[in-house]
């Protein structure tokens, strides 16, 4: 069983709505269901939005939180896929128009989910985790040993760090990807996203990237936030 907040579009279209699945960052935080202007942006445009509190999210008991232990990149993506399948089985959404988005750790989940399932048609990521080893070396000081519980200690789990990193699964990706990154990001270097975008294009996968000179790990400028939404809408209309 997976918890999720569900937001249905307030529209009168006869067709079933497209679905936007949102994976939270953290990755052990959670969506709390509070008012979210970004969700409103999409529901007002006819999108069905699902904020997924996949296994490992906080607030649902220790057992639920510990589901993610050593299984980040497995349980989170499986829960996002299961949710999309469930909504499709209930005939609430258009199965040909399902996309997934996430920021930072949520971007890692979004990218992983994209190449683990044919359900999703695209991924939209802000400053995503693309290389787990780089994250291990460069993340916040207070998260220095975070991956020991999420993946396992590096010395004994080097293979997992390699195999679960999106950058090492480029050959499995065959759907469009939209990337946003701040050049002042001290946690995940923006060059990881630019290199990832370059490799996708070399593989003939449609990909776009937008960089912001004045942003770090977490966008704060209101104009940039609006720009991200508008660029995302343009991207989705195009694909």
Contacts of 206 (CB under 8 A, 6+ apart): 176, 177, 200, 239
Please compute the mean of the pLDDT values over residues 208-228 and round it to a whole number: 97
Q: Is the pLDDT of residue 49 over 80?
A: yes
Query: What one-character DSSP code corresponds to residue 87?
Result: H
Q: Strand locations in 78-159, DSSP E?
A: 98-103, 122-126
Which of residues 114 and 136 earns the better pLDDT score? 114
Q: What is the pLDDT of residues 197-211, one digit of tens each?
A: 999 999 999 999 999
Strand bridging mode 207-212 / 19-23: unpaired
The pLDDT value recorded for residue 12 is 64
> What dihedral do alpha carbons 142, 144, 146, 149 form, nearest 10°?
-130
**Residue 225 to residues 19, 39, 219: CA-CA distances in angstroms?**
21, 13, 7
pLDDT band at 144 (very low <50, low <70, confident <90, very high): low
Q: Could you tell me which residues come within 8 angstroms of residue 18 by beta carbon, excluding any fewer than 6 positions away?
A: 46, 47, 48, 93, 94, 97, 98, 99, 236
Quick check: 213 pLDDT over 70? Answer: yes
Tell me the mean pLDDT in the region 208-227.
96
- Strand partners of residue 5: 51
Count of CB atoms situated within 10 Å of the CB of 15 = 9
- pLDDT score, position 142: 54
pTM recorded for the entire structure? 0.95
| pLDDT at residue 191 greater than cutoff 60 | yes
Per-residue confidence (pLDDT) for residue 146, from 0 to 100: 77
Q: What is the DSSP string of 17-63?
A: PPEEEEE-STTT--------HHHHHHHTTT-EEEEEE-TT-TTS-HH
Model confidence pLDDT, tens digit, residues 14-35 = 789 999 999 999 899 999 999 9
Cβ neighbourhood burial of 128 (10 Å; 0-12, 13-18, 19+): buried
Backbone torsion region of residue 234, taken as left when φ is above 0, otherwise alpha when ψ lies between -120 and 50, otherwise beta: alpha
- Phi/psi at 79 (nearest 5 deg)? -70, -35
pLDDT tens, position by position, 149-179: 899 999 999 999 999 999 999 999 999 999 9
Cα 25 from Cα 31, distance rounded (Å): 9
Mean pLDDT of 32-45: 95
Q: How many Cα neighbours within 13 Å face the side chain of 137?
A: 6
Mean of pLDDT values over 29-49:
96
């Amino acid at each position: 069983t997976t918890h999720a907040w569900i937001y249905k579009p307030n529209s009168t279209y006869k067709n079933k709505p497209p679905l936007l699945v949102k994976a939270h960052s953290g990755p052990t935080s959670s969506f709390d269901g509070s008012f979210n202007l970004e969700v409103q942006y999409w529901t007002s445009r006819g999108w069905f939005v699902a904020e997924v509190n996949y296994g490992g999210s906080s607030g649902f008991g220790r057992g639920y939180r510990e589901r993610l232990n050593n299984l980040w990149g497995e349980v989170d993506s499986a829960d996002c896929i299961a949710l999309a399948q469930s909504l499709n089985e209930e005939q609430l959404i258009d199965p040909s128009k399902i996309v997934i988005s996430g920021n930072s750790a949520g971007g890692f989940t979004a990218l992983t989910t994209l190449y683990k399932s044919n359900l999703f048609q695209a991924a939209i990521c802000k400053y995503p985790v693309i290389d787990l080893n780089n994250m291990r070396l460069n993340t916040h000081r207070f998260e220095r040993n975070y991956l020991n519980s999420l993946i396992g200690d590096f010395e004994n789990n080097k293979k997992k760090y390699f195999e679960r990193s999106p950058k090492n699964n480029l050959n499995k990706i065959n759907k469009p990807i939209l990337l946003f990154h701040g050049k002042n990001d001290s946690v995940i270097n923006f060059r990881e996203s630019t290199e990832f975008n370059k490799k996708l294009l070399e593989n003939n996968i449609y990909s776009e990237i937008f960089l912001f000179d004045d942003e770090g790990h977490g966008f704060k400028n209101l104009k940039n936030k609006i720009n991200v939404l508008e660029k995302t809408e343009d991207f989705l209309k195009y694909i």
